[in-house]
A and B are shown apart, each in its own frame.
Chain A
Amino acid sequence: MIDVEDLSVHFGGVVSLDQMTIQFPAGTCGLIGPNGAGKTTFFNVLSGFVRPRSGRIEAMGQDLLAMPDYKRARWGLRRTFQTEQAIEKLTVFENVATVYEHADRGGKAGRVAAVDEALEFVGLTDVAQKTVRTLGAKERRFIEVARAVVGTPKLILLDEPAAGLPDEETATLGNIIRNIPDRVGATVILVDHDMSLVQACCDWTAVLDFGRLLASGPTAEVLHDPNVMKAYLGTEEVA
């Protein structure tokens, strides 16, 4: 469980997160909201790239804000980025192995097995030895997910993992994301604008608007919440 209390982030005069208080349950959670709602800022606070003005975050009983950024990864925090960040010069295998050996402190003994398992999970076994530079956007997105699940992650942040993917690939990715908690035992927080992906992956969803929590609860209920619909589209239904 991820327990966020009174989290505020200010950039100069702009209030990005405003006393956000929220509890993410285990499983795959959605985090949605209009552009500029503070979703990525929240991820950056979790990652340690942005220092909050106030508040605390407790993840599985661990005070996350007390750890330096790279140590959070070693604790079990993983993330993907809006612009995919698969390492171009390395092979697919090396990409995933890098996370395993640094974030997971994994030794040589279990490396091949752990990396192969992650690649099989996302369906990239066949291209393991290819250099990322030679691969398309689709594979790169899946590599990021493999990097997030390799080893023993505790909390996985997916920041628009399906951005730029055609519907068919998004559906495949959705299946994979949905299976992450069962497969690796981590809690997943998914940020995406694609409501069908959020619906397909997440039983529970929270909505941010202007840095404040607007609604949270079972995904179907949240998406039909009048306040949420208003924030997004005036009064129409979201999905």
Chain B
Amino acid sequence: MTVAATSPATEVVPVKTPAVARVLSHQFFQPAAVAVVFAIALFAIPGFFDAFWIANFTQMAVFSIVAASAGLLYGRVGLVSLGQVASYGIGCWVTMRLSFSTTWPFPVLLVIGGVIAALIGVLIGLPALRVSGLYLALVTLMLAAGMEIVLGATKFPNGGGGFTGVVETLSDIRPTRRPSWATTDVAYYRFIVVGAFLMFMLAAYVLSRKPGRAWASIRQSEAAALAAGIDVTRYKLWAFALAAFMAGVAGGLYAGTVPKGMSIDAFNRQSAIFLIAVVIMGGIYSLWGGLLGAFFATCLLKFLTQNVAGHQFWTRFSLSLFGLGLLANLIQSTRAAEKKGIEA
């Protein structure tokens, strides 16, 4: 018997795709959309908005990297980690510390902050090898809380000496330095946009390669991934390392946005939960979700509090909404993880 070249298996079940989806999936769409968004962020936004909104878009650009990193872990590998805020804080701390004690170029500080965050991110990822779903979220939440306590005790460097680099006198506090060629708020905003662009490109590149395919396998079924020869442990740790690197770099970029004394508030447990909620609202699979989630959490929230109702209302409303979305998702993903047995 021979295999017929025209076996019925080659017949494709016609799947109706809506026109919008066809346009979105066209191979020229993605690069074109990226170029347009990048150009708008770089040129149009500084041209049209005042300092107040530039500050908000700056927050959005930084936050989009953190959101994309958490989305990558959740959407592409299936790991719900609340530890991304901890990596974000570590990157911020390291970059601030080095900015006061060295004269190294700022981008170098960012990379070092990212690498150290990645190393610690792998440690945070270790428990992930045993647990998944809601349980992983709980374990990483504990780690985020632990990091909050550590950062709360050491405080963020602000120009002092010693390992922690903290000064106690308010008048001695110095801001984290910015790159010499991007000292103004607008220039630093553009610098962050470029940084975010590079981080998104890095993520997109890795996702399109061997690790991306391994992650897609793991996300669908760990048993099938193992059967395909994928070293699941190694690729999970690799995902934690990449995500922590991205968040660490974002933390370093964030360091330069704060004029006087970094507060722990951006890196506490509540932020950790808020982040994952934002990521879910933005969409976890596409990297665009990181951008969208960051837009909801910064610019849109600010716009609503400015124009539609008070700050308290929207903060509470968004927290409740994000909380509900988060809960629904965690319950669902835990069920999916439990279903994903060997027989799957």
Contacts and interface: CB of A to CB of B under 8 A. Distances in A.
B214 interface: yes
Contact of A87 (B3, B4, B216): B216
Given A89-B285, A120-B5, 17 more contacts: A40-B343, A47-B226, A50-B342, A70-B230, A78-B227, A79-B227, A98-B213, A102-B229, A122-B3, A124-B9, A124-B10, A127-B12, A134-B17, A142-B9, A172-B7, A179-B2, A179-B3
Contact of B13 (A79, A103, A124, A135): A135
Nearest to A75: B229
A102 B10 contact: no
B232 A70 contact: yes
A56 to B, nearest CB: 21
B205 to A, nearest CB: 15
Interface of A: 40, 44, 47-50, 69-71, 73-74, 77-79, 81-83, 85, 87-90, 94, 97-99, 101-105, 120-127, 130, 134-136, 138-139, 142, 147, 168-169, 172, 175-176, 178-179
Interface residues of B, number: 35
Interface in B180-237: 210, 213-214, 216-217, 219-221, 223-224, 226-232
B13 A101 contact: no
B310 interface: no
B217 A47 contact: no
- List of 9 A-B pairs having minimum Cβ-Cβ separation, nearest first: A103-B229, A73-B229, A85-B224, A123-B7, A136-B13, A102-B229, A98-B213, A123-B9, A134-B15
Contact of A168 (B5, B8, B17, B230): B8
A175 B1 contact: yes
Q: Which of B8, B227, B231 has its CB near the most chain A CB atoms (within 10 A)?
A: B227
Contacts of B223: 47, 49, 81, 85
A125 B1 contact: no
Nearest to B208: A94
A172 B3 CA distance: 8
Given A81-B223, A134-B15, A102 B342 contact: no
Contacts of A98: 213-214, 216-217, 228, 230
A178 B1 contact: yes
A50 to B, nearest CB: 7
Contacts of B308: none
Contacts of A175: 1-4, 7
A105 B285 CA distance: 28
A71 B5 CA distance: 34
Interface string B225-268: 01111111000000000000000000000000000000000000
Nearest to B230: A102
Given A47-B226, A103-B229, A104-B229, A85 B344 contact: yes
A97 B146 CA distance: 41
15 contacts: A49-B223, A69-B226, A71-B229, A83-B344, A87-B213, A88-B220, A101-B210, A104-B229, A123-B3, A123-B5, A123-B6, A139-B13, A142-B9, A168-B8, A176-B7
A138 B9 contact: yes
Interface in B9-39: 9-10, 12-13, 15, 17
Contact of B213 (A70, A79, A88, A101): A101
B232 to A, nearest CB: 7
Contacts of B219: 89
A142 B7 CA distance: 11
Given A49-B223, A49-B342, A83-B344, A135 B229 contact: no
Given A70-B232, A73-B226, A102-B230, A176 B216 contact: no
Contacts of B221: 81, 85
Contacts of B226: 47-49, 69-70, 73
Contacts of B10: 123-127
B343 A82 contact: yes
Contacts of B224: 81, 85, 87
A127 B2 CA distance: 21
B217 A87 contact: yes
A83 B227 CA distance: 14
Nearest to B235: A102
A90 B10 CA distance: 18
A169 B9 contact: yes
Contacts of A94: 213, 216
A216 to B, nearest CB: 24
B12 A176 contact: no
Contact of A130 (B5, B6, B12, B232): B12
